[in-house]
Amino acid sequence: MRIENWQIKEELKYDNNNFWIEIKDRQALIGLSDYGQWVIGDILYIELGQEGAPIRKGESCGSVESGKWVGNLIAPVSGCILECNSAAVENPRQIQEDPYGAGWLIKIALDSTDENGSLLDCASYAEFIKEQIKNAA
Amino acid sequence: MDIYNPGMVSWWESQCYYHALAYLGREGVILCSPAEPYVCLGLHDDLDQEIDQEFCQGARLPLFRRETGGGVVYLDRCQIFYQVVLRRENRLIPLKRDQFFSRILKPAIDVCLSLGIKAELAPPADIKAGGRKCSGNAAGDIGQAVAYVGNLMLNFDYEAMSRVLKVPSPAYRRYFYEAMQDNMLVLSGVDMREVESGLISGFEKIFGKLRERPIDNELQDMAISLRERLTSDDWLSMPGRRLPLRRIKITEGLFLQEGETEEGTKVLCLMRDGQIEESHAVGDSPLAFDRKGTERVSGASGIF
């Protein structure tokens, strides 16, 4: 599905910090959505949490810098970091060129599946983007 | 919108008040200058790579790591800071945070124009006049707020700035010093009060009439507690971006970079907008580097 210039993948879940989340067997693969990477702009540097570290939904799991702006990456689910995408850290351009593929950010072992219900499906996320665009106009 | 204009404050207060506003979820504009010089790292700067800590210790220059972007800066009383804190839900903030610089830097640009300096935005966040930088700026999401911070330089201590940064050789330091002098501009001879009132009227055009407020107890207490964290050894030593070869940003699009040609000759390159503007061969000798006298390397496209 496309909303304006941005691709949204129907099989993924999303949150309102513009992360996509792919959940399989109590593990979550997480990255920035196409719209999310556009909002951030030209990413110069990205820092992700340590592998093995616990993260809590709503708390920082890393930070990103683009064009003299820095912001926190807010974890969409709780769990323990299994893996960080070192290639994306090394070359943040990957996040912008292939946000749903080579630009993934972290893999998490989920604490539970209770939080999954609060994530957005593709249609709800599309509405969220439209609302953001409307409010910014 | 509130404005806090405490004038000259201590070095740490010049950073902690805007962090405090942000963490308290309060909006406001702050104008201030630090009474003492200090060195301020961006959130992602790597202390060990960037800073000559021995020099800073010897010169009694305190260190601070801010929660906004950009690189290391030397700050002192000859600079006037403007700091704007807005809650994230503020409708003035565009979707792309960096697009707000063009609006938030208008007051500083107008101050320069009123002084006869043909200043303009050098995206994303520098202000330049005649290609020379006269203001540095940065932004960051802090707590539930967004902070935009910057300065106008009434004078600049190039010598101190060139000493504060860790560099690979005396030649590099000298070249850095010269490149800053060539590419930066200060608003010398300008009255600080005049700059302040220009900034206030500029911010009133964006936010409407500003209410002047003193630094209150809540703000002061939060600033004091943040000082401890933002100057702690753990926070300052947090690892950041590292590059294999030393590269220092001088202004937007302009970098001084060390490199090596394919033949193994060490070179210093001034890179503008991704292109080599100047390159000079340098030896290992600690002898003073003479930029005019050293051999210019043609086609220096080796290892960078």
A73-131 pLDDT tens trace: 999 999 999 999 999 999 999 999 999 999 999 999 999 888 888 899 999 999 999 99
In whole angstroms, what is the distance from residue A58 CA to residue A74 CA?
Answer: 5
Closest partner CB to B98 (pick from A45, A68, A133): A68
What's the whole-model pTM score? 0.91
B101/A68 Cβ within 8 A? yes
In whole angstroms, what is the distance from residue B196 CA to residue B81 CA?
Answer: 9
Which residues of chain B, if any, have pLDDT below 50?
A: 285-288, 298-304
In whole angstroms, what is the distance from residue A27 CA to residue B154 CA?
Answer: 55
Contacts of A38 in chain B (CB under 8 A): 96
Query: Predicted confidence band at A136 (pLDDT cuts at 50, 70, 90)?
Result: confident
With beta carbons less than 8 A apart as the criterion, state whether A39 and A136 touch: no
Q: What is the pLDDT of residue B289?
A: 53
Query: Which CATH number among 3.30.930.10, 3.30.70.360, 1.20.120.420, 3.30.420.40 corresponds to the domain B2-236?
Result: 3.30.930.10
Plot region of A41 (φ>0 → left; ψ -120 to 50 → alpha; else → beta): left
Which percentage of chain B shows pLDDT scores above 90?
A: 83
A133/B140 Cβ within 8 A? no
A65 touching B (Cβ < 8 Å)? yes
B169 touching A (Cβ < 8 Å)? no
B43/A68 Cβ within 8 A? no
What are the residue ranges spanned by the domains of chain B?
Answer: 2-236, 253-298
- How many inter-chain contacts (A to B, CB under 8 Å) are there? 63
A67 touching B (Cβ < 8 Å)? yes
Strand B2-9 to B254-260 pairing: unpaired
A71 touching B (Cβ < 8 Å)? yes
Contacts of B241 in chain A (CB under 8 A): 45
Please report the ipTM that was assigned to this predicted complex: 0.88
Closest-CA distance, A17 to chain B, in angstroms, reads: 12
Q: Which amino acid is residue A8, in one-letter code?
A: I
E strand or H helix that includes residue B125: none
Q: What is the pLDDT of residue B249?
A: 95
Closest-CA distance, B295 to chain A, in angstroms, reads: 33
Contacts of A132 in chain B (CB under 8 A): 95
B111-145 pLDDT tens trace: 999 999 999 999 999 999 999 999 999 999 999 99
Residue B25 phi/psi, 5-degree rounding, is 70, 25
With beta carbons less than 8 A apart as the criterion, state whether B226 and B238 touch: no
In whole angstroms, what is the distance from residue B42 CA to residue B235 CA?
Answer: 12
